[in-house]
Amino acid sequence: MSEQLNIAVVGATGAVGEAMLSILAEYGFGDANVHALASERSLGKTVDFGRRYLAVEVLDDFDFAGCDFALFSAGGGISLKYAPRAAEAGCTVIDNTSAFRLDPEIPLVVPEINGDLLENLDAGSIIANPNCSTIQMLIAIAPIYAIAGINRINVATYQSVSGAGSEGMEELARQTMDRLSFKDVKPSVFAQPIAFNAIPVIDTMQDNDYTREEMKLHWETCKILRDDSIGVNATAVRIPVFYGHSEAVHLETSRDISMEEVREAMHKAAGLVLIDDTDPKAQVTAVTHAAGKDEVFVSRLRRDHSHPRGINLWVVGDNVRKGAALNAVQILKMMVTGKMPVET
Residues belonging to the active site: 132, 245
Q: Is 70 in the site for ligand A2P (CB under 6 A)?
A: no
Rg of the chain (C-alpha set): 20
- Phi/psi for 121 (5° steps) reads -80, 140
CB of 14 to ligand A2P, least distance (A): 2
Per CB under 6 A, 86 contacts ligand A2P: no
Q: Which residue among 42, 92, 157, 211 contacts ligand A2P (CB under 6 A)?
A: 42
Q: Is residue 332 part of the contact set for ligand A2P (CB under 6 A)? A: no
C-beta of residue 317 within 8 angstroms of C-beta of residue 298: no
Question: Measured from the CB of residue 57, what is the shortest distance to ligand A2P in angstroms?
Answer: 10
Binding residue (CB under 6 A) for ligand A2P from 8, 21, 24, 38: 38
Based on the shown chain and the rule CB under 6 A, indicate whether residue 163 belongs to the binding site for ligand A2P: no
Enter the DSSP assignment of 106. S
Q: Binding pattern to ligand A2P, positions 165-184, x when CB under 6 A? A: xxx-----------------
Residues in the interface with ligand A2P (CB under 6 A) total 17
* Chain-centroid distance, C-alpha 252: 24
Tell me how far apart the alpha carbons of residues 57 and 65 are, in angstroms, rounded to a whole number. 15
Pick the closer one to ligand A2P by CB: 96 or 330: 96
| Among the listed residues 6, 7, 8, 15, the single contact to ligand A2P using CB under 6 A | 15
- Which of 8, 17, 92, 131 touches ligand A2P by CB under 6 A? 17
CB of 40 to ligand A2P, least distance (A): 7
Which are the contacts of 299, defined by CB distance < 8 A and separation ≥ 6? 274, 275, 276, 277, 282, 283, 284, 313, 314
Stretch near ligand A2P under the rule CB under 6 A, chosen from 10-18, 121-129, 246-254, 266-274: 10-18
3-state secondary structure of 245: strand
CB 299, min distance to ligand A2P, A = 30
Name, in order, each residue with C-beta under 8 angstroms of 307's C-beta and a sequence gap of 6 or more.
252
Q: Where does 230-299 have alpha helices with state H?
A: 259-268
Which of 6, 8, 14, 238 lies at the binding interface for ligand A2P (CB under 6 A)? 14
The nearest distance, CB 338 to ligand A2P, in angstroms, is 31
The alpha helices in 184-270, defined as continuous H runs, are 212-225, 259-268
The answer to whether residues 127 and 207 touch, using CB atoms and an 8 Å cutoff, is no
Q: Which stretch binds ligand A2P (CB under 6 A): 12-20, 95-103, 232-240, 307-315?
A: 12-20
**What amino acid occupies position 98?**
S
Q: How far apart are CA 132 and CA 40, in angstroms?
A: 28
Distances (CA, A) of 24 to 12, 194, 271, 307, 337: 12, 32, 18, 44, 14
Binding residues for ligand A2P, rule: CB under 6 A, are 11-15, 17, 38-39, 41-42, 59, 74-75, 78, 165-167
